[in-house]
Each structure stands twice: as structure tokens, then as C-alpha cells.
Structure 1
């Protein structure tokens, strides 16, 4: 295998950050659907993954698919398919035509929902939606120094009026121990968080505060979800919308 091809396959299988690998370390390596008897992962697939991505292969979750001889390989939020002999790789979506379901997408959505279940809402800054017959919730990774985050923030009243609760997690794109990071800490340590966050999004410097803040934990969740920008909007079904979405359009997406 050429170095160029090996590098390409590494990108396809999304060699993950330490935080993402930590998420998968809790899972069984070479996991199979329905046990390890007749559906055990072929040795050829194990060997191919080890050749392609080295030690990270132990974090890959491998399951048989409905197609004989084709296995699903998941690493983080990336899903591909390998033939049982390890010679063919398919990078694309598997669709159940009878049910009109994107099976590949649903695997990723389910993984995101599992991460979302681990999030503690008490560590978020929450703007409750109006009471409606079908309330919805979105979870947003935000950066105080992100212009498009500020643009989305201004539209919270529109989203709330439509019955959508908006929950914020901190994701300073510049990383730990930066100005954006310290601003996030100060906002989350404020006694009046929503007011301070509102002001910060309008360019008002928050008073410097320190506490047992959740910023690092939020950044770990972002890594597990492979968030790499802001705003990123996580829906209840596990869909992840990268970037700013106008409120009216977002309402339509949430209510689909």
C-alpha cells in the first residue's frame, strides 16, 4: 500500500483525537452484533484495519451488515464498510430502500445521542422555550468570540417563541488557556449566567471569575462528537448542524 493511499484511508477512517478515542475505549474492541460466535470479525478485517490505521484499530467497532460478507466499521463518528476478505472498502451510505432509512446516518445519529445522554443539563446555560404541544430542544456548542454564534444568539427569542429550548455548551475554538477559554469560564461561573452570556455575545467583557466550571468537560463532549467549529447545533435525533442556521429555517428543520 502506498503512503498516499494509506494516508487517504486514515482520513476516511477519521483517526481521532485523544478524547474521541477515550469514548471508544469503553467499548469492546472488535465488537460484533449478536455475539462472537458465527458472526466473529474475520481475521482479514482485523489485519487490514491494523495495516491501515495501526494501533487505533483496536478502537474500531466492527459489526456484520444485512449484506453477506460486508462488515460495518465505525471509528468515532465515521462509518465505512469492509468486505470480509479485507480487500474492498466502501465509503458511503447504506440505504434501506423498503423503509427509506439511511442506515449509515442512523448509526452516527445513535452514537451522538449516546454522547448527548451523558451531558448534564445543569452544566449548560439554558433558555427555555415557550410551552407548546410539541416542545423541542437544541443543544448548541458556542464560542463567545464567534460572530456567527452571536448572530444565532440574537435569534434565541424567536426560537423560544416557537417552543424550542436552547441549551448552550462552551466550545472556545482557540483551545484551553486562551482569552476565549477564560471568557467562557467567567460566563459559566457567573451567578446570572444568561444575562452575562447575553452581554458577552454583544461584546461586553465578562468579569473575570473562576469556579469548578464545566468548560473542559464541554470541550471533551465536542471532541467526542467531532465538533470542530461554532456554532454547532445538535438536534434531539442526533443530527448535527455545522455553522449558523437562520432561526426560521432552523425551526423548520427541528420540526421536520
Structure 2
């Protein structure tokens, strides 16, 4: 049980780290509030008992989804990008992947994909930095950082992704955290008059003029934590599927074609 306790106790601290700094702390102006967690549930229901079980371990944790699980007698709960299973009486808790042998796939990812879709849908188009062909076949969301090597590699190939019909919509994830120079640089990028050029310059190691404005960087950072981000770049498909880190343009196109074919 200790690993799970650590997970839940850590879940709140990660979420707390992601909040917008107050004015005057680091110079950033807070952006839009992060999306709300799941709506309250009736405490007398299996869903309510599942949420109560989670909150016994951490009263302040955000539950993003609670629903019937693929296994009888359990509810599926999504917490900070993790999928957990709680018995309908609230007594037992399971963590880990749930693999359907007959279907040959990890069904625990279905609920998490739904949460990703719902949370990403709350991000306005104006809060994204978009590199897209005129009529893309696919659109992916990429949580990016200006300092990470594979984020830079992905951006160096942005023309090839676009040529292959893939639109890239960037969200910010300064992995060093809100108090870091990395965070401040990403604020400057999102506050630039030409965000696309500022992001390209930052990824090329060029100096980006320091700017401040109402910006979504803290909200993006919090969102990344909530959908289970473990490293950058994090590529998420329109279906809410997380891809395995950086993927070369041709490999990503092939994977997206396969997902579309599986329907």
C-alpha cells in the first residue's frame, strides 16, 4: 500500500506546484484558471464511496473521473493521470493496468483517454501555438519545453510533420517548474507578438526578449500533470491516446493511420 500512499500524497503536491504564481512572484501574471475536476457525486452511490476512499488518503486530491469499471464490483477512478479501481463498498483499491486478454489491449487506458480529451478540449485555440498544413489529416497536441533535447528535435522537423498532413498544436510544459528560468522563458514565448517565431527561436537556443502578460503557461503545466505527463515532449492524439514520447514524422504518421483504421 505504501507506493499508492506515496502516489496520492504526491498527486496533490504536483498539482500545487502547477498553480499560477501570485503577481510579483517571478514576474509572471496568472493566466486562466485550470479546468475543474469531476462534478460531485452522491456519497451513497458506488461512485461516491470510491471518491471517499481516495480522499481518505488525501482529502485535497482532484478526482477527474469516476465511472463503472470494466470488472464487476469496482469503480474506475482517474486521479492525476493515474487509473485506480475501488470496490463498490469502498473497502478495496487496486492500481495498475487492466489488460483484456480476449481483446488484447489495456482497457485501463480508455477512461484516461476520455479524461485527456475532455481536459484538452477546455484549452482555447488562442492559447495554443499551432504549426499546421492547410488541410491536415491529423491534429496532435504536444506538451513541449524549450530546454528538452527531444522537444527541439521534434520542432526541427516541424515542416516534415506538416508535409505528412500532421498539425502540431503546442501547449507549454516547463519541466523545471513555475519558479524556474525555463518557466519564465515560456511565458515570454506565449506573450510574444509572434509566438511561432519566438518558440522557434527559443528551441534554437536564441534569446527571446523577456515579456509578461496574462498567459496560459501555468494552466498548461497543471493540465499536463492532470493528464499523466511523465516527460516532454508528450504527444496526445485527438482520441486522447498518449504516444510514446518523441516520434519521427513518418513513424507518427504511421501510428496515426493505424489508430484511425482501428477506429
Q: TM-score range by the shorter chain?
A: 0.7 to 0.9
Which residue does the alignment assign to 2:261? Answer: none
In structure 2, C-alpha distance between the alignment counterparts of 1:45 and 1:120, rounded to whole Å = 32
Cα–Cα, structure 1 residues 235 and 207, in superposed 2: closer, same or farther, change >3 Å?
Answer: same
In structure 1, C-alpha distance between the alignment counterparts of 2:227 and 2:192, rounded to whole Å = 27
Classify the secondary structure of the residue corresponding to 2:197: helix
| Aligned pairs, number | 240
Classify the secondary structure of the residue corresponding to 1:82: strand
Which residue does the alignment assign to 1:221? Answer: 223
In structure 2, C-alpha distance between the alignment counterparts of 1:198 and 1:225, rounded to whole Å = 26
From 147, 165, 176, give the equivalent of 1:163: 165
8 Å contact kept, 1:24–1:76 = no
In structure 1, C-alpha distance between the alignment counterparts of 2:189 and 2:55, rounded to whole Å = 44
Q: Which blocks of at least 5 consecutive residues in structure 1 are unaligned?
A: none
8 Å contact kept, 1:28–1:61 = no
Provide the aligned C-alpha RMSD in A.
3.1
1:72 is aligned to 2:76 = yes
Moved more, 137-146 or 174-183: 174-183
Cα–Cα, structure 1 residues 212 and 73, in superposed 2: closer, same or farther, change >3 Å?
Answer: closer
In structure 2, C-alpha distance between the alignment counterparts of 1:178 and 1:237, rounded to whole Å = 32
1:111 Cα deviation (Å)? 0.4
From 140, 150, 153, give the equivalent of 1:151: 153
Moved more, 62-71 or 135-144: 62-71
1:207 Cα deviation (Å)? 1.6
Identify the structure with bigger relative contact order (alpha carbons < 8 Å, sequence gap 6+): 2
Which residue does the alignment assign to 2:25? Answer: none
Which residue does the alignment assign to 2:125? Answer: 121
Task: Encode CA deviations 1:203-244: one digit per residue, 9 max, x unaligned.
Answer: 111122222232222222223223242111111110123532
What TM-score comes out, normalization by structure 2 length?
A: 0.76
Greater Cα radius of gyration, structure 1 or 2: 1
1:168 Cα deviation (Å)? 1.0
Classify the secondary structure of the residue corresponding to 1:144: coil
Which residue does the alignment assign to 1:111? Answer: 115
Cα–Cα, structure 1 residues 54 and 89, in superposed 2: closer, same or farther, change >3 Å?
Answer: same
Which residue does the alignment assign to 2:193? Answer: 191
Moved more, 65-74 or 246-255: 65-74
From 6, 11, 20, give the equivalent of 1:15: 11
What TM-score comes out, normalization by structure 1 length?
A: 0.78
8 Å contact kept, 2:176–2:182 = yes
8 Å contact kept, 1:29–1:60 = no
Q: Which blocks of at least 5 consecutive residues in structure 2 are unaligned?
A: 20-33, 259-263
1:156 Cα deviation (Å)? 0.6
Task: Encode CA deviations 1:80-114: one digit per residue, 9 max, x unaligned.
Answer: 22334555433344456676664321100000000
Moved more, 82-91 or 92-101: 92-101
8 Å contact kept, 2:38–2:64 = no
Which residue does the alignment assign to 1:200? Answer: 202
